[in-house]
């Protein structure tokens, strides 16, 4: 896997395909998870050449970070890019907190769970109501100067909040909801991010599994953010993607991931996985190459979601 993505103004470099780990230890968020699968997912990713692991305190209230920390002991730390996030205060009912004191403590707590002495990318997971956004980022910049974190990110910030956070030019990366069926960021965020050398990482790139093509026409109720008409249109578009995939002996998921990997607006794509077999299959997306007409066709198929 090529190592060619630079994160914002930082010196963090990673490959374009990462791993989302909210199903690694994320027992508070998803049913029927077991730690054994979580360990296997992380190992499979690192064995396959994935470098960036996207985690957060709130995935299992530290459990995802702990599992990653355990696995890291068997790998070359310098080849792994760890991205984690904090904002939910463990000592205050998970209330969102961006105060400098909270963020500094959150970095130390994450370092302990990850059993490492630096975090490559540290995100403020959600904005709070009170802390000026640039003050929160400045606090993280102080931490950055100590070497405990290498790049600063924000997540779930509105476009205005991103601009406020980046008032001193210190934000390296933004992580937000984006996929072929959720494309508002193309208009609301991408122009500002590009103009300010800020990387973009989409979360829910597979729309929580919908864009794997594994759900049938009758399963629309699982995705209630879409109307029945929208779900029908998405299903139709996915069938067109399936045709492209079959011609390449690839899966729908791999073609969707290949589209993100070829999209210059996207820095790293972090599909989540429940099993190591999903990771294995998703890694093969790096071998799928879309022609310009195929890339454009997929873009057009999902035009309505811009």
Nearest to 236 by CA among 217, 255, 259, 208: 217
Q: Using the CB atoms, write b or e for 69-103: b if 16+ within 10 Å.
A: bbbbeeeeeeebbbbbbbbbbbeeeeebbbebebb
Give SS3 for 248: coil
Q: Least distance to ligand NAP from the beta carbon of 37, Å?
A: 10
Give SS3 for 195: helix
**Contact in structure between 68 and 21 (CB atoms under 8 Å):** yes
Name the residue nearer to ligand NAP (CB basis): 190 or 204.
204
Name the residue nearer to ligand NAP (CB basis): 208 or 235.
208
CA dist 26 to 60, 241, 270, Å?
4, 31, 16
Nearest to 198 by CA among 219, 173, 228, 216: 173
Name the residue nearer to ligand NAP (CB basis): 146 or 184.
184
Residues within the interface to ligand NAP (CB under 6 A): 20-23, 54, 125, 155-156, 175, 203-209, 212, 214, 253, 270-274, 278, 281-282
**Contact in structure between 39 and 202 (CB atoms under 8 Å):** no
Q: Least distance to ligand NAP from the beta carbon of 110, Å?
A: 14
Q: How many CB atoms lie within 10 A of CB 277?
A: 12
Active-site option among 59, 123, 178, 260 = 59
Name the residue nearer to ligand NAP (CB basis): 134 or 282.
282
215 is catalytic: no
Name the residue nearer to ligand NAP (CB basis): 116 or 212.
212
Q: Least distance to ligand NAP from the beta carbon of 109, Å?
A: 18
Q: Least distance to ligand NAP from the beta carbon of 82, Å?
A: 12
Q: Least distance to ligand NAP from the beta carbon of 270, Å?
A: 5
Residues noted as catalytic: 59
């Amino acid at each position: 896997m090529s190592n060619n993505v630079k994160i914002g103004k930082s010196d963090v470099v990673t490959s374009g395909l990462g791993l989302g780990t909210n199903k690694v230890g994320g027992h508070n968020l998803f049913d029927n998870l077991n730690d054994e699968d979580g360990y296997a997912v992380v190992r499979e990713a690192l064995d396959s050449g994935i470098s960036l692991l996207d985690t957060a305190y709130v995935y299992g209230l530290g459990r995802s970070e702990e599992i990653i920390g355990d696995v890291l002991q068997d790998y070359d730390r310098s080849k792994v890019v760890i991205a984690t996030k904090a904002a939910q205060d463990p000592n205050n009912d998970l209330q969102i907190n961006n105060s400098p004191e909270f963020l500094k403590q959150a970095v130390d707590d994450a370092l302990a769970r990850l059993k490492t002495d630096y975090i490559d990318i540290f995100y403020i997971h959600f904005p709070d109501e009170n802390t000026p956004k640039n003050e929160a980022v400045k606090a993280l910049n102080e931490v950055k100067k100590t070497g405990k974190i290498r790049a600063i990110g924000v997540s779930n910030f509105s476009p205005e909040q991103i601009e406020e956070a980046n008032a001193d030019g210190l934000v390296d990366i933004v992580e937000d909801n984006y996929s072929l069926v959720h494309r508002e960021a193309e208009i609301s965020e991408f122009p500002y991010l590009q103009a300010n050398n800020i990387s973009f990482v989409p979360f829910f790139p597979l729309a929580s599994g919908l864009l794997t093509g594994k759900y049938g026409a009758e399963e629309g109720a699982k995705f209630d953010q879409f109307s029945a008409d929208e779900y029908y249109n998405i299903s139709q578009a996915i069938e067109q993607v399936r045709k492209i995939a079959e011609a390449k002996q690839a899966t729908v998921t791999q073609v969707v991931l290949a589209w993100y990997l070829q999209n210059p607006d996207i820095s790293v794509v972090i599909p989540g996985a429940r099993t190591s077999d999903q990771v294995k299959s998703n890694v093969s997306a790096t071998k799928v190459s879309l022609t310009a007409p195929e890339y454009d066709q997929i873009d057009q198929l999902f035009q309505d979601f811009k």
